Structure 1
């Protein structure tokens, strides 16, 4: 018995295109469904480092922004809005990096000022001793 089903070249092309579109959609949906756990681990580490460096004291605005964005990212993660969670976590990471750099720079400036003050005090003491 001969099969009566035969496909034209155009029908085969349409079937291939439909298969590719469906496969691509499933692939994208699969990627969008993965929680950004690695990004969260990096962000949490960077925020802790910034806090340890004195970010809360020397870069309060940036530190607050990093902490707020991380909290918003946690809410988005809980709501399974992984794209938003990743974006917020990345922003929090960079805010924390800025806070850490500002804190380190402020500490370095303070150390230079303290050293200059120490040199000035030594000069004054040596002048007193010389008289």
Structure 2
């Protein structure tokens, strides 16, 4: 049996062999960038913020921390507008800021109520002392 060598020609490419890999990486990167631009609505953050704003209002934030409460409500409204406009990154940032403003308002309201309770208790003690002194005379 005789083996004959076959002359086969292979097409030589003019570019380097990593070209295909580079193109695949570029396509994949572009896909991720476009997917990132589209983004998804920050619905979880939005719900957390809404809850924080409602808690702050319930705690008396509008009375004891009016500035912080207004800031929280304004940023929350801006986040709603950004969500409607599908500007999800801006909506997320505003919702986070509104959440922290609302949490601050809630804490200030709690502190204000506690301070008022302490003041009322002190006044009650003072009233009892005065009444006790009057009865003793």
Q: Give the TM interval when normalised to the shorter protein.
A: 0.7 to 0.9
How many aligned positions are there? 129
With normalisation by structure 1, the TM-score equals: 0.87
Flag the structure with larger Rg: 2
User: For 1:13-62, what per-residue CA distance to the aligned partner results, in whole angstroms no more than 9, with x for missing partners?
Assistant: 34323322432332343344200000000000000000000101111111
Does residue 117 in structure 1 map to residue 118 in structure 2?
Answer: no
Query: Partner of 2:136 in structure 1?
Result: 130
Question: Structure 1 stretch 19-28 or stretch 86-95: which is displaced more?
Answer: 19-28
Q: TM-score, normalised by structure 2?
A: 0.83
List, as ranges, runs of 4+ consecutive aligned residues in structure 1 with deviation greater than 3 Å.
2-8
Higher helix share: 1
> For residue 97 of structure 1, what is the aligned residue in structure 2?
103
Who is 1:27 aligned against? 32
**Structure 1 67/6 Cα, relative in aligned 2: closer, same or farther at 3 Å?**
farther
Q: Which runs of 5+ in 2 are unaligned?
A: 1-7
